[in-house]
Structure 1
């Protein structure tokens, strides 16, 4: 039985502290042969690792060596095995040396640490600070955030360049102009009928209907390939002051052909061919004679124009849509109801077959209404009192600016810190500006200070722990991706966060609607969902794949995480479950019964559906593909990182890529081809731990479809059957993905440990080190006491000791 490092250090500590040679002798006898000058497995040279444990240069590698020796992975089974006493001694020796360096490394840290806000955090912060909506991801706005294993908030990655400074300044100007416009912004409501949208008013078409005695109103027919404007720039008065939140209502229905897809409507911006940049995605389930009224809200940068576009990929729609486009798009094609198309358009192309069924999916629009920009009372109240009165003295101006800076900088502010901004205010007044304009220059300075764009932790003297104000910000940016609210500020000002009030504040934050930001952001970063669609699937190989399916796959992951979190389910649900969250499009793709309502619904799964948990979701299976084929090695690396929290080393530079199957050779699976890597000694050590993790899902192709045979484009013979069997690194075997997932459940403690590390990296905004192992272990034990339930795990992280440390 392997003893834990902590127990070994306790029993052997007095002996090993004074011994310098035992671990060197062990390494020479059992490790250097595979990790030394003669052989370098996994690019690790143990003989070249730094022995200066206080510097911590190679501390993470030494920690991994301790872990692998303790787990029995080093030395491998085919090498001479050390005794239990030898293992105990070397682990204790190395573990003690690592611990000895911890205090020295802490003392060596800089007194102050700066963590720049990500784009998403900047957006949330200016909204919570001033009630202003601003989209930093728009072209020309804030720079994209560099990623570290999917995380976009790691401080060491978020540098500040001259281009950042310029764009931050412009962003703060936009934010202040929207918060304090020169003229009051009035909301407008615009109602457009189908006749106005489709027929430019429809006067001539209505005369045609009257002549035939048709009483039904004109409707806009939207079919694949046909774009119809949903919002035109001149409907609202132009100008940036009109940018904001808009509410839309539309009456709509759809027609679905037998065996075809549910009609789907995208409302978005024109990007060349079609409206690929979707702002709103809607599955239309209402039948023609029972249209539904759909309402949604969307942020719009004005002036702008939006289009309707029907998105489907079934073969009928793809063939017929382009053929009908010109004729059906003309003003002479009048539409009111499917039962009247023959009468009204005897020479037009057929929309329906002899049985009255639609020949492709299309959408029927009756009217649309836009209202905006709209603001809630809470948003308006956010900036109440920010501007002083027009006759305010410099003292009053300073007081107002101090209160604003205190919230913006998330800490107490001295008036001396504000002197440069007050001076700028006075200079603007002297130059002839009115008070409001001059004061906004001071506000502009506050928003461009590093105290706003950075989370600042520490001061002139080194200290180990955060103060209450810093802890308030760390908690709020962990759970809300934004600044603290007033209740959290008040608790920090009273010095209560380091006392018993912390648990009450965390519970309140977990119940606040702003927790949706965590629910949306953390799984996206943890699971590296930015990679979904990075390599668009080949349309010839996967004609059933479209942008709506891709968006539906992403939404499944997000809504699934939301359900596990809000219901406080066990993290076992991430590995396997008998349910998922799917909309109509995804149900069609998975072969599940269609939901009765639009949007993601909780759908029951059967064993024959081959789904359940994160690992068999289309988004997860697709993000590790290259657009033409699945990549089991990449799938294995993803599982190693996301589920086990271990990043394999990069492959050697001279590894040959997997070549396409030769036309004159028997068709071979990718599994067969990657076996060649296991024959290479420098590759075998990693591949034996990676490949089985990915090969377990070989019954899913590049877009996550279930299959029994691998499609091989070239070669002789039939497509070969897939083989999802394999062995875990510890020798346990599995026959397929389901058995593999059951083995993962047996390893739930490893998964729990990895998930907590991901949560801590997200919350602490840094990469974890060997110095964090004890704190992580304490959170793991707390989570296990709460039966591995997700919300309780997040709560344990928020309340943990590591969250209170600098």
Structure 2
């Protein structure tokens, strides 16, 4: 049967209520009376829907989502049910066409009535990026005591309606501005220093005595410093650095030459540099796997911002130490007087035969061990670009009031991301003048004005609009929207200039967007959007039970959280089609993930592209440990939650909340027969209140039942209590439209058949991120236009982002 497809924005119904019997005043009323009211009216209320109670006020749009879903079901043939009398093609056409005019009128009225001024507070991450791009200052607003945590909406942390400003928050913004200005214009400039220490310096106090022993044995290898699981060393120890070590807060470059020993069947050596918070946990600033072998050590280099005085530890953390007492005994022997002199595991003459052993008789390590050759700190470092951002911000000491005003105006235009009139700065200039009159120096008085600019709503908020009613953004507002979309920060000088000259139109706008897409700052977009879209904040929300999942540790969790982001980064760099989100013959993994997934060991410990085979049972986002873990709890997988996540994130169809007082699934008892969670959910679906929603949600989650709570593959479900063997898992199911699948592989194939739907959902999420608001049915026409443009380019990721950035939707207020 032919279907009449209209955009959902033309299918928005709103009215002021109906009498018990629908009055056929419009053609669509007659359709509803004939085909719908008998099941969704005063006599029967299937699915908790009564059509006669829905609003028809097209200007208000209160019941838009109900009506749109109804029309979608009629258009797709889902309604009326197959057992009921079916409408003719002419009836469907008249039904849809009749509503179209009403919906367009209501939509136009709502668009015209939208508020003239919109304010969107910067998220913490955006604030951090903005102060860096404005003044070259590194500031972490997520540290305890700094800016309040952002309120999330379906994973997004930049939705304007959610980001309120409390009195306590205002005070923190003032303190943040003071700290930022302190770091930008510090009175004492610290000269960068470089401190280099060898393992002999660190472990053996120069190693002169030990070198005598090496010479006696004829060993030419240099001394090395050993670190094993549970071993901690203060990375900034005075014994290492004395007064020549890091003394001033700032950016430091850390270089380490190291290698690792990996036990047979054990984990790759892993080093965490940060603050130890427990026996097995480290709040790491730097985390990395060490795959370099003893004979081929590698130089690892990192940049880290240190606030002095700082506490920083080197910690080796691993979960493969079977006997912790043996490990502790070895550490004690190593640290005791007359402990090991170590250069290489083959030099057995140096190993103390009376101490617990570190190697077996074939030279294989018994622990995941880090071998440190040398360490080097350099800093604090300030780049030329950071210095350039601060140049000419503060006027000279002999500046006239006019020169001071000009300096402040230039700074405010950059900070507020728009042209600024001098009169807007009168309050701040007066504060400066008052400070000068009280005897303050130029720099100190001027900082009061700078602080005023940085605590103004024009800096803390993205301000879109004014008192004049208009449909589109100004060029300055568009430049800001684009920069916070693609860079998570303020516009640069090129984008400012383009906006000021009125060049953000047509081909010039396209050229500017292409420049932005090629800029390295898009890495911020990749980090922020992927994390928010996929709701990765939920990874680790329910820490897995260590007894049930002993392979799970903090480094595996962090690696899981990074995998989807790095996967997105690879797709962006190669401009790959969105299909790869659903299925791929590759992933981006580090050594820890390769161990966990059973993949070949990578060439280095860093994230890199790894080829997949069918027997690996991975590929795409849906089989990643992060996605499978965030939809589970600490003890078991949760198929319903997995289905909800997939419906919302991948298909763009958030299911309704569950009804109140739904009983929980009963845990197994020792007397009951062992049953899979699927079997229990099917019994749960017998409740009529639950059946309709679960029929759409459950298949989306049950397809992944072969993956446990942390994403490990299994064929049987481990049931802790009950009678009989652990039951075999059945991942088969039927999609809501009737298409059957037997496992996750076939499910992914069906999703790929729905690539238009998946792409539209991705575009909607991306537009939500860009516009900083939830989208409505009024936006559907614009979304369809973006989809059509992206489809021309094969739904390639960068092209799709470009289509959103250049769309009419982005220009609208």
> Normalization by structure 2: what TM-score?
0.94
Tell me what 1:57 maps to: 62
8 A contact 1:316–1:360 mirrored in 2: no
Per-residue CA deviation, residues 611-638 of structure 1 (Å, 9 max, x unaligned), is 1111111111111000111111111111
* 2:622 match: secondary structure: coil
Structure 1 residues 317 and 739: alpha-carbon distance in aligned structure 2, compared to 1, 3 A threshold = farther
Tell me what 1:13 maps to: none
8 A contact 2:257–2:300 mirrored in 1: yes
Is 1:686 matched up with 2:693? yes
Gaps of 5+ in 1: 11-17
Tell me what 1:252 maps to: 258
Of residues 445, 458, 461 in structure 1, which corresponds to 2:465? 458
Is 1:351 matched up with 2:358? yes
* 1:628 match: secondary structure: coil
8 A contact 2:567–2:588 mirrored in 1: yes
Is 1:423 matched up with 2:430? yes
Tell me what 1:512 maps to: 519
Of residues 635, 640, 646 in structure 2, which corresponds to 1:633? 640
Structure 1 residues 481 and 566: alpha-carbon distance in aligned structure 2, compared to 1, 3 A threshold = same
* 1:371 match: secondary structure: strand
For 1:28 and 1:676, the matched residues in 2 are separated by 36
Is 1:611 matched up with 2:612? no
8 A contact 1:40–1:682 mirrored in 2: no
Aligned-pair CA distance for 1:378? 1.0
Aligned-pair CA distance for 1:354? 1.9
8 A contact 2:674–2:721 mirrored in 1: yes
* 1:231 match: secondary structure: coil
Aligned-pair CA distance for 1:330? 3.6
8 A contact 2:559–2:592 mirrored in 1: yes
Aligned-pair CA distance for 1:33? 5.2
Larger deviation, residues 182-191 vs 403-412: 182-191
8 A contact 2:246–2:379 mirrored in 1: no
For 2:238 and 2:506, the matched residues in 1 are separated by 55
8 A contact 1:224–1:318 mirrored in 2: no
For 2:47 and 2:769, the matched residues in 1 are separated by 28
Tell me what 1:172 maps to: 177
For 1:358 and 1:414, the matched residues in 2 are separated by 69
Aligned-pair CA distance for 1:43? 4.9
8 A contact 1:402–1:415 mirrored in 2: yes
Alignment of 1:469-618 (within 5 A): 469-618=476-625
Larger deviation, residues 199-208 vs 39-48: 199-208
For 1:8 and 1:524, the matched residues in 2 are separated by 29
For 2:184 and 2:84, the matched residues in 1 are separated by 70
Q: How many residues align?
A: 799
Larger deviation, residues 650-659 vs 687-696: 650-659
Is 1:148 matched up with 2:153? yes
Is 1:117 matched up with 2:122? yes
For 2:697 and 2:338, the matched residues in 1 are separated by 62
Per-residue CA deviation, residues 137-187 of structure 1 (Å, 9 max, x unaligned), is 111111111111111111111111111111111111111111100122322
Tell me what 1:14 maps to: none
Structure 1 residues 231 and 33: alpha-carbon distance in aligned structure 2, compared to 1, 3 A threshold = farther
Structure 1 residues 240 and 157: alpha-carbon distance in aligned structure 2, compared to 1, 3 A threshold = farther
Aligned-pair CA distance for 1:501? 1.1
Per-residue CA deviation, residues 38-61 of structure 1 (Å, 9 max, x unaligned), is 665555444332211101222233
Gaps of 5+ in 2: 12-22
8 A contact 1:275–1:307 mirrored in 2: no
Tell me what 1:643 maps to: 650
Aligned-pair CA distance for 1:285? 1.3
For 1:43 and 1:221, the matched residues in 2 are separated by 67
Of residues 85, 92, 117 in structure 2, which corresponds to 1:87? 92
Is 1:720 matched up with 2:727? yes
8 A contact 2:294–2:371 mirrored in 1: yes
Of residues 128, 135, 145 in structure 2, which corresponds to 1:130? 135
For 2:210 and 2:43, the matched residues in 1 are separated by 86
Structure 1 residues 35 and 662: alpha-carbon distance in aligned structure 2, compared to 1, 3 A threshold = farther
For 2:440 and 2:245, the matched residues in 1 are separated by 23
Aligned-pair CA distance for 1:226? 1.2
For 2:494 and 2:229, the matched residues in 1 are separated by 51
8 A contact 2:273–2:287 mirrored in 1: yes
8 A contact 1:265–1:283 mirrored in 2: yes
Tell me what 1:15 maps to: none
Tell me what 2:412 maps to: 405
Tell me what 2:187 maps to: 182
For 1:560 and 1:784, the matched residues in 2 are separated by 21
Is 1:282 matched up with 2:314? no
For 1:700 and 1:322, the matched residues in 2 are separated by 35
Of residues 375, 379, 393 in structure 2, which corresponds to 1:372? 379
For 1:274 and 1:121, the matched residues in 2 are separated by 33
Larger deviation, residues 534-543 vs 492-501: 492-501
Of residues 796, 799, 803 in structure 2, which corresponds to 1:796? 803
Aligned-pair CA distance for 1:580? 0.9
For 2:369 and 2:800, the matched residues in 1 are separated by 46
Of residues 615, 621, 629 in structure 1, which corresponds to 2:628? 621
Per-residue CA deviation, residues 643-702 of structure 1 (Å, 9 max, x unaligned), is 110100111112111221111111100000000232122211111111001111111111
8 A contact 2:651–2:758 mirrored in 1: yes
